[in-house]
Structure 1
Amino acid sequence: MAGSLSVLAPDGVPEITAGDDLAAVLLDALAPEQVVEGDVLVVTSKVVSKAEGRVVTGEREEWLERETVRLVAVRGATRIVRNRLGLTMAAAGIDASNVASGSVVLLPEDPDASARALRRAVARRSGANVGVVVTDTAGRAWREGQTDIAIGAAGLTVLESFAGRVDAHGNELAVTAPAVADEIAGAVELAQGKLGSRPFAVVRGRADLVLPVGDDGPGAATLIRPEGADLFGYGAREAVLRAVGGQPGDRAPFGAPVGAEELVAALSRAGIAARPGPAGDVICAAERRAAVDIVAFAHGWAATESGTDLRLQPVSP
């Protein structure tokens, strides 16, 4: 049926513990339903972590420090961080629910590798070529609530590209790139339910997204924007503090240096008169040196004295 998509999230999945064979548990939970060619299997990161022995003893705050690469924002007790996987999440994605008191669940060591292993195991047991998505829950900037996203994937096109294609009116779709792995994760969460104890699901109807046998694809890691390219490397307050502090190690999240004209415009918005220099640099008066340094840092530049003026040049992050 055109435009048809089905999601099956079975009940009756037993508690997963370290060393469990997820493929066997998943296929048993689905019985008598059979996995078929072109299905997309979706599994929550929590059961992957439990099977891989990622339940650890200790408090969330203790493990948060270990899993954090960079603090993005803090508001009261809430800490948004970029974790070791490159994901920007509250509490680094560490989960303290559905585990014994005094323990927490860390994200899988390598979610894409976990997805690849599950794909191979399912293929051995069922003979079917499937795609696999490992999901976790995350908030979104500008939006209330949370939704599930793909943090691991194998055998699946995770990002479709419509660049160069045209719509029905002849308009070119220059930057339209649906994150289909995330869309699948969100759709599946509706069937699983947060309290449904349904950590597995089968999505049927998008076999076109499943890659050939032997091709695991780039994985969900390709959905993560590189450091400095997401435009929101720090929270609003944290960005001010980092720019004022001016530490070299804090440059990368601000992104690559802007062009001279963009820096001149930024300085102008801050009430600082500036002009492009003769050698690709920017020249401005020195009387507001502190403000110039802050604006320059946030835009990937640095100022040095040049006579009575300041000379600004781009700096590699």
Structure 2
Amino acid sequence: MSIELFGLKGIPLVKEGDNIADLILNALKEQGETLQHGDIILVAETLVSKSEGNVIKLGDILPSEDAILIAKKSKKDSKLVEAIIQEAREVVEVGPDFVITETKQGFVCANSGIDESNVGDGLATPVPENADLSAKKIREQLEKETGEELAVIVTDTQGRAFRVGAVGVALGCSGIDPLWKRKGEKDLYGRELQTTEVATADELAASASLIQGQADEGLPVVIIRGFSAFDTLRNEDSDIHPLLRPKEFDVFRN
């Protein structure tokens, strides 16, 4: 069993109104590739936010009193902090050099997921307003154009509380269940699995992140081919919510 990952070259710097599916199809053609059944297309969230015009102009922001206080504690720019607050459902924790929030979409992460990389000076991109819907639109157009069953995952990179370094995670998905519930299957010794659940969308996002990179790689779209569980997890109505732990079960906020 093997799995293949490759980045799409030739994706241009995206501007508001650009059609991501069209850009993917054009890049595939230039690269001499075609999409196949079961291909999973991983798209960096910055690409999606920029195409949807979801860009923050930090210079236009007037910081609130709360933002100024949090900025002093976190040692961050007060305008950035105000943007973080505006994108947050809840400020979870503030400390030296970090602001942890729950975003409007339900993601608990640093800085409400706001990213200042790969955009122009003075600009930042928040996470997409609805990454599941964005993924669905891209998937449906690609499937219509190719006639193949596909999946699309919108990715981001995030840090983790107990590990150093950022890893790729999924913000939205379409066409594949993000969580693989394997309860009832057998292990190598024939014992029945009792609780095993695999965050498949995050694992796929993390693998794609190795190619997408964090700097000037210029490969915001990665294709994963040969994932053996695609048909098992195929779901046209999927979304990211099964991966989000409900607050009442979050031991760090209770």
Query: Above 0.5 in TM-score?
Result: yes
Hey, what's the Cα distance between the residues in 2 that align with 1:98 and 1:155? 28
Q: Is the 8 A contact 2:55 2:125 kept in 1?
A: yes
Is the counterpart of residue 29 in structure 1 residue 16 in structure 2?
no
Aligned with residue 70 of structure 1, among 67, 90, 95: 90
Hey, what's the Cα distance between the residues in 1 that align with 2:36 and 2:200? 20
Hey, what's the Cα distance between the residues in 2 that align with 1:101 and 1:211? 44
CA apart distance, 1:211: 7.3
Q: Is the 8 A contact 1:157 1:209 kept in 2?
A: no
CA apart distance, 1:109: 0.5
Q: Which residue of 2 aligns with 1:5?
A: 3
Of the structure 1 ranges 17-26 and 119-128, higher mean CA displacement relative to structure 2 is found in 119-128
Which amino acid letter does the alignment assign opposite residue 49 of structure 2?
A: S
1:42-97: CA deviations, max 9, x gaps?
10111000011101212422211111111222121310111111101110000112
Q: Is the 8 A contact 2:46 2:118 kept in 1?
A: no
The normalised TM-score by structure 2 is 0.86
Hey, what's the Cα distance between the residues in 1 that align with 2:50 and 2:39? 24
Q: Which residue of 1 aligns with 2:226?
A: 205
Q: Does the C-alpha gap of structure 1 residues 168 and 208 become closer, same or farther in structure 2, counting only changes over 3 Å?
A: closer
Q: Secondary structure at the match of 2:198?
A: coil
Q: Is the 8 A contact 1:39 1:207 kept in 2?
A: no
Hey, what's the Cα distance between the residues in 1 that align with 2:167 and 2:195? 23
1:222-278: CA deviations, max 9, x gaps?
200112212122xxxxxxxxxxxxxxxxxxxx2xxxxxxxxxxxxxxxxxxxxxxxx
Q: Which residue of 2 aligns with 1:251?
A: none
Which amino acid letter does the alignment assign opposite residue 142 of structure 2?
A: V
Q: Which residue of 2 aligns with 1:141?
A: 161
CA apart distance, 1:16: 0.5
Q: Does the C-alpha gap of structure 1 residues 10 and 218 become closer, same or farther in structure 2, counting only changes over 3 Å?
A: closer
Write out aligned runs for 1:1-317 (5 A).
2=1, 4-31=2-29, 32-58=32-58, 59-195=79-215, 196-206=217-227, 208-210=229-231, 215-233=235-253, 254=254
Q: Is the 8 A contact 2:177 2:233 kept in 1?
A: no
Q: Is the 8 A contact 1:73 1:81 kept in 2?
A: yes
Of the structure 1 ranges 191-200 and 149-158, higher mean CA displacement relative to structure 2 is found in 191-200
Q: Is the 8 A contact 2:100 2:110 kept in 1?
A: yes
- Tell me: higher relative CO, structure 1 or 2? Use CA pairs within 8 A at least 6 residues apart: 2
Unaligned residue ranges in structure 2 (runs of 5+): 59-78
Task: List structure 1 runs of 4+ shifted beyond 6 angstroms.
Answer: none
1:188-246: CA deviations, max 9, x gaps?
11122222110001100125325799x4233112200112212122xxxxxxxxxxxxx
Hey, what's the Cα distance between the residues in 2 that align with 1:161 and 1:13? 35
Which amino acid letter does the alignment assign opposite residue 46 of structure 1?
A: T
Unaligned residue ranges in structure 1 (runs of 5+): 234-253, 255-317
Q: Is the 8 A contact 1:9 1:200 kept in 2?
A: yes
Q: Secondary structure at the match of 1:228?
A: helix
Hey, what's the Cα distance between the residues in 1 that align with 2:236 and 2:80? 33
CA apart distance, 1:11: 2.1
* Greater radius of gyration (CA): 1
Which amino acid letter does the alignment assign opposite residue 186 of structure 2?
A: V
Q: Is the 8 A contact 1:157 1:210 kept in 2?
A: no
